[in-house]
Chain A
């Protein structure tokens, strides 16, 4: 009976043991900034509310960064509420970014990433997005720009005085990661 139990335990537990991560990363600090352009307006919306985690396993690291859409602050509450409406932020309240990089590239000064961004109920992919990394002790400071556009997420451009905003809404990323 005991042998059988041990056999069962080993058999069913072995896949779980095999899937335990080699390394885990946590997002310590973040600043995400979108930039919106209009002939009469230049607006930056900033969020410090992003959360992120990375799990490295079998030589690959999978990262997930998520931020509430409503956490972006452009300095004007009316504009922010209009942004939430335009981006369907009440229905899809989280913007998510997933990426996978080889574990061997985690410490490189330049990270070449393929991103999958979920936003406004749509998923867009961005290939070869370059992020720059500086390492200070355990802190990995990573910066870069994600070249998002309104059309990538099927968002109708808002207008001001009947003139629509520009299609390009680049998101500047400034994050600090630490291994946990």
Chain B
């Protein structure tokens, strides 16, 4: 390393006490400046005197450079710069800036840490995002199944019209069987729908706000209703099959089913509210 923009620098082996293998090259090709530092893996600890001597050389170099004393050697500097540009061309490209480091960002502009944001605030979590994705996926299925479940629930309600025996004719069981089948389908679909909401991962401990709050409150109506309705229905069915008039707690089957269906519909409306027309 002899020609360095007109500035000579002692060979590395002339400075044994500082860093035998350290080479510093300063080249100039105005207006660009390139500083390259190559160092070996092991550097001996320099003595204070050597350090000061080295520092004084750096200072002199810098001062000389600052006052543009390199003009007479610009040609040599350009040759050296061209050589280095050729070497740099063979190097791999620098990493492309990621999204969190915009190209327009400059060193004088404020950073997130200047705003008082800690790395814990600014660093995201792919694992947490995966949890959110899983939650959304399961709730989408919950929503879809819930809407589909409206069909058997409505059909069971409609078929209930023909379920009671007509004029004390207990022999015709077709309409009751259809009602039982539709009711059982509604309960099974309801359980399947609910399972996705129950198993969806929790991503927040905050209390529910807005329509989803009412959606959750209504669970306390339609969930017990979905358990009670088939039990009461089975009791009523047995009483009718045995030729009895529906009596006792079984007579509440219709009312419980109506409340259940209504609260189920309200739960769907609540989570969709407010609707803008």
A residues contacting B by CB (< 8 A) are: 1, 4, 7-8, 11, 19, 21, 38-42, 51-55, 57-58, 60, 62-64, 66, 68, 74-79, 81-82, 84-86, 88-94, 96, 98, 100, 116, 118, 121-123, 160
Contacts and interface: CB of A to CB of B under 8 A. Distances in A.
Interface string B142-161: 00000000000000000000
Contact of A98 (B109, B126, B275): B109
B204 A118 contact: no
B276 interface: yes
Given A57-B108, A93-B122, A93-B124, A85 B59 contact: no
B125 A90 contact: yes
B209 A77 contact: yes
B104 A84 contact: no
Contact of B99 (A7, A38, A121): A121
A11 B59 contact: yes
A154 B261 CA distance: 40
A7 B56 CA distance: 9
Interface in B123-146: 123-126, 128-129, 131-133, 135-136, 139
B104 A116 contact: yes
B272 A91 contact: no
Nearest to A62: B109
Contacts of B99: 92, 118, 121-123
A91 B129 contact: yes
Chain B interface size range = 35 or more
A21 B102 contact: no
Contact of B271 (A53, A54, A78): A78
Nearest to B132: A85
8 closest Cβ pairs, A-B complex: A76-B210, A62-B109, A78-B212, A85-B132, A91-B124, A91-B129, A90-B129, A90-B128
Contacts of A53: 110, 114-115
A58 B107 CA distance: 13
A52 B124 contact: no
B166 interface: no
26 contacts: A7-B63, A8-B55, A8-B59, A11-B59, A11-B62, A54-B110, A55-B108, A57-B108, A58-B108, A62-B108, A62-B109, A63-B109, A77-B207, A78-B212, A78-B271, A81-B203, A92-B100, A93-B124, A94-B112, A96-B112, A98-B104, A98-B105, A100-B104, A118-B99, A123-B102, A160-B272
A74 B274 CA distance: 12
Contacts of A118: 99-100, 102
Given A66-B115, A81-B204, A82-B136, 16 more contacts: A4-B52, A8-B59, A11-B66, A41-B274, A53-B114, A62-B108, A63-B109, A66-B112, A76-B212, A79-B210, A81-B132, A85-B136, A86-B136, A89-B124, A90-B203, A93-B123
B117 interface: yes
Contacts of A4: 52, 55-56, 59
Contacts of A98: 102, 104-105, 109
Nearest to B124: A91
B255 interface: no
Contacts of B59: 4, 7-8, 11
B109 A75 contact: no
B106 A62 contact: yes
Nearest to A42: B276
